[in-house]
Amino acid sequence: MEDHSMYYDTLVKVTNAISHCRDPEEVALLTAESIKTAFKVKGCSVFLVDRNTRELGLAASFGLSQEYLNKGPIHFMQSIKEAKDAVPIAIYDVQDDPRIEYPAEAAKEGIASLLGVPIISHDKIIGAIRLYTAEPWEFSVNDITLIQALAQVCGMAMDMCRLYKGYKTSIEVLKNMREPQTLKGTKWTPFEGVPKSVNPSICDY
Numbers of helices and strands, H then E, in the chain: 6, 5
Q: What is the pLDDT of residue 94?
A: 93
In 51-172, beta strands by DSSP E: 55-62, 89-91, 113-121, 124-133
Q: Among 173, 188, 113, 119, which Cα is nearest to 150's?
A: 119
Q: Residue 90 carries which DSSP code?
A: E
Mean pLDDT computed over 6-12 = 69
- Beta-carbon-side half-sphere exposure of residue 42 (alpha carbons within 13 Å): 20
Q: Among 114, 118, 116, which Cα is nearest to 134's?
A: 114
Q: Is 198 part of any domain?
A: no
Count of structural domains within the chain: 1
Q: Is 176 part of any domain?
A: no
Mean pLDDT across the chain, nearest whole number?
76
- The domain of 20 spans 5-165
**pLDDT tens figures, 118-151:** 998 888 888 899 999 999 999 999 889 889 988 9
Which amino acid would we find at residue 170? S
Q: Is 186 part of any domain?
A: no
**How many residues would you count in the chain?**
205
Confidence of residue 192 (pLDDT cuts 50, 70, 90): very low
Q: Is 36 part of any domain?
A: yes
Q: Is 23 part of any domain?
A: yes
Look up the CATH number of the domain holding residue 157. 3.30.450.40
pTM above 0.85, yes or no: no
> Which has more pLDDT, 49 or 9?
49
Q: Is 188 part of any domain?
A: no
Q: What is the pLDDT of residue 158?
A: 81
Q: Is 180 part of any domain?
A: no
Q: What φ, ψ does residue 94 adopt, rounded to 5°?
A: -70, -15
Distance between CA 1 and CA 116 in Å, rounded? 27
**pLDDT tens figures, 10-52:** 777 777 777 776 777 888 888 898 889 888 999 999 998 887 7
| Position 154 pLDDT exceeds 60 | yes
Three-state secondary structure call for residue 120 = strand
Three-state secondary structure call for residue 92 = coil
Chain centre distance of CA 91:
21
Chain centre distance of CA 96:
28
Q: What is the pLDDT of residue 56?
A: 80
Q: What is the pLDDT of residue 53?
A: 75
Q: What is the pLDDT of residue 175?
A: 59
Between the alpha carbon of residue 166 and those of residues 26, 37, 63, 104, the distances in Å are 16, 32, 32, 43
Q: Is 12 part of any domain?
A: yes
